[in-house]
Amino acid sequence: MPWLLLSGLLFALVTWQVAAHGPLRRADERLGRAAVGHGPAGLTEFLADLGNLAVALPVLAAALAYTLWRGGRGALPRAAGAALAMAAVPALVVPLKSWIARPGPLTPDTGYYPSGHTATAAVAYGGAALLLVVYVRRHRWWPPALALLLTLATGAGLVLRGYHWPLDVAGSWCLCAVLLLLSHRLPARYPPPPRASRAPAAPDR
């Protein structure tokens, strides 16, 4: 609960600063302009592409399929939670982009906050890690660590290529932390009812 609350508060703070043209947004734009163009173009473009649906969604789909294959009916709530978190990304991000109407670093076109590519990467890779870590017997740290690395790399690529401001990325991270925490906690709190036994009942004595 503390992490959920903290993520929600940080998202609210970042969103308020971006929408109200606050000092955090002004500092963000100075930082973003200074960062654009740094790093090898091929590498930063590759990192930014990690947030494409065509790249990230198959990773989550494979994790969902593996989870249902290994866990059967008992894994259905966890799989459903991860799928719903992914479905919530466009449902939340698209209206926010329209409402905030933030121009991009290299274009006057609006609709850049929060970053949809960042959100896609965070929920797809993070959701896959939360599903798969259950089946890792040793070194269980690596699925979350790999998901975090891929998510951070996506955000860095988007900023360095000039596709998004840093706060576009940071706001998406905070929003997706809320989605991932909810998708992970709720299935554990409300597990599926036990299956009815098909064995004949013992006779009364």
The domain ranges of the chain are: 2-189
Residue 1, pLDDT score: 72
Residue among 90, 194, 86 at smallest CA distance from 131: 86
In whole angstroms, what is the distance from residue 142 CA to residue 50 CA?
A: 19
Would you state the structure tokens that stand for residue 108, as one six-digit string?
Answer: 């006057």
Q: What is the pLDDT of residues 170-187, one digit of tens each?
A: 999 999 999 999 988 876
196: pLDDT confidence band, cut at 50, 70 and 90? very low
**Is the pLDDT reported for residue 17 higher than 60?**
yes
> Which is more confidently placed, 199 or 116?
116
134 residue type, one letter: V
Q: Is the pLDDT of residue 64 over 80?
A: yes
- Which 3 state secondary structure label does DSSP give 107? strand
pLDDT of residue 191: 53
Q: Which amino acid is at 146?
A: L
Residue 162 has what pLDDT?
96
Summary mean pLDDT of the chain: 91
| Structure token digits, residue 163 | 């596709």
- The answer on pLDDT for 11 being more than 50 is yes
Pick the residue with more confidence: 138 or 82? 82
DSSP 134: G
- The β-bridge partners of 104 are 107
Angle, CA 119 vertex, CA 50 and CA 85 arms, to 5°: 115
CB 122 within 8 A of CB 180: yes
- The fraction of the chain above a pLDDT of 90, given in percent, is 80
Percentage of the chain modeled with pLDDT above 70:
91
Segment 98-117, tens digit of pLDDT: 999 999 999 999 999 999 99
Q: Is the pLDDT of residue 202 over 90?
A: no
